Amino acid sequence: MPLNSYFAVHHVTRDVTWQAHLHDFYEFYFVLSDNVAIETEHGIYNATYGDFFIFEPYFFHKISAPDILFDRYCIGIKEEDLLSSALCLREAFAAIKESRLHHLQANVTTAAKLIKIFDRAIRSYEDTSPFRDFRIISCIGEIMRIISTLPHGSKGIPHPKNKISAIMKYIHTNSHEEINIDHICKTFGLGTTTLHKIFKEHLNISPGEYILRVRLNNAIDLLKEGKSVTETANLSGFNSYSHFIRIFKSRIGMPPHKYAKSDVKVRSLSD
């Protein structure tokens, strides 16, 4: 399996306000700006230069920055796929899980070292040489070695508990099944009006729209993995083949069979 199907690295410098979201991969989030509000399941953080966050798969988070330029590095890693190609990182991932690392802080000197490694990872990611994957894995190992030495950051300001995180995880886990609004309401003991209010407050979309976006994201991944259009429709939770074709073309801009053969990359629709 090509490494770029389960790994991505980016250096981004633009303003951002992301809706609450989660995804099925690890995200390393290295902040290089001040006054960045990061809301997670564990609390609300006022992140500053050098803060390092680790978001586990299906870990609820929301990020907003007031400045025009918000400087940060992001790495996305699908753990199982990466470890199948880089067994040397298995113990490093196990240590992260065991220590429950979420918020870390790098001083100016360590931040400078991390920046160099991230930049090298980006250059390697864009490389086409036979040593590309080896260089990327080496960068990941260096980053994980450094963050294992970083002191823990603050625990964040506690925020009122709500069910949005649990509901989002439930949808991601069961999106291939025939789930609907009534089913979610019964599962979480909510009324339809309350459920819509929760989604409007945190995501500014309806729960039905969120389910659709999750299914489309899954369909995109399945197509790129080589699944047929029929398999993709069934595995991603669309019980009507014709409906899947119509929705996919409407949202993505091309039929699924053409997307599977293209080099187009679609940003997560559920973010």
**pLDDT for the residue 114:** 97
What percentage of the chain exceeds 90 in pLDDT?
37
Q: Over the stretch 118-160, which tens digit does the pLDDT of each residue have?
A: 999 999 988 888 888 889 989 999 999 999 899 988 777 766 6
The whole-angstrom separation of Cα 96 and Cα 221 is 26
Average pLDDT over residues 174-181: 89
Average pLDDT over residues 86-115: 84
The whole-angstrom separation of Cα 113 and Cα 145 is 12
Instruction: Using the predicted structure, report yes or no on whether residue 189 has a pLDDT greater than 50.
Output: yes
Global pTM reads: 0.72
Average pLDDT of the chain? Answer: 85
**pLDDT for the residue 267:** 47
Instruction: Using the predicted structure, report yes or no on whether residue 61 has a pLDDT greater than 50.
Output: yes
Q: Where are the alpha helices (DSSP H) in the chain?
A: 79-85, 90-99, 108-125, 132-147, 164-174, 181-188, 192-202, 207-224, 229-235, 241-252, 256-261
- And the tokens for 109? 């000197």
CB atoms within 10 A of CB 107: 11
**pLDDT for the residue 86:** 75
Q: Over the stretch 2-42, which tens digit does the pLDDT of each residue have?
A: 566 668 889 988 766 666 777 888 899 999 999 888 888 77
